[in-house]
Structure 1
Amino acid sequence: MSKVEESVEVDVAVRTAYNQWTQFETFPHFLDGVERIEQRTDTMTHWVAKIGGVTKEFDAEITEQIPDERVAWTTLGGEVRQAGVVTFHRLDDVRTKVMLQLDYDPDGFAETVGDKLGFVKRQITGDLKRFKSYIEDRGHETGSWRGAV
């Protein structure tokens, strides 16, 4: 298993950043390589992503969700094996630190080489920067889910 930890400070309130992160179907707007996400239930999502030039489909389960604090998930079976958590830290009334921790198991030679070359870390850094632009440009969330898991 490989691990990545990255963070970004966003110029929106913690509630706004958290609310946007609960809108999984908007992730293709800022997660590179993610083509589509379907939220099937409060805790189940289905992903279609291009990883190393190969399209992969997988399911992920939300294992913990605490409003304005954290969202944790794990993939279920299939080729993509990962687990992660994103946490939200109030810096002040209009700034939030978003921290992503991801454990993943590269699949095959190409993904293993990409992992060793730091591709996943760079991708996550870029994804968080795109999330920052996405939420700051809007100034508000596209929706929210305030339930706890």
Structure 2
Amino acid sequence: MEYIGESSAIYYWRALGLIVSVLILYVVFEMQKKKMSRLSSANTHSSIVLLHKRHAGNPNYSSSTEICRIDGLRAEAFLYCVGVQAVYLSPGEHNIEVNAHWARHIRGKRFKEYEAGPHHLCVEVGHGELWSLEYFIPEKKFIFSRCNEKKMFKKSVV
């Protein structure tokens, strides 16, 4: 009889853990929504720089890029859409500090992590443009290119 009571206690703890996990996810989601609305209202005329890998499956590009600083100030990234981070840049010329990260399979099941940066780039953006930042591994250089919004995924309006 004690065995049945112990197993039901385990289910109660599991249910409690599940409820707490859902609450934590909800709080994080709401904080991200507030951050996105705050950033979008403050940057209505700014350009967006996407920090994602457009060449999925191509090992010549890094798996993630990051903008650390914009004109010496810490950059604040936001979630542009599922799995794609982005940064706002006001129109004009900016000096940005960037990093790139990727992993390579070496032997067996082992991977080795690589990092490039920090590098400083001088970029110029206009009003309401969409840009992409990528790192091309064989040439060891960052590529800052303008995106064609019609050929890319569309941002869903929430």
* Both structures adopt the same fold (TM-score exceeding 0.5): no
Bigger CA radius of gyration = 2
Q: Normalized against structure 1, the TM-score is what?
A: 0.32
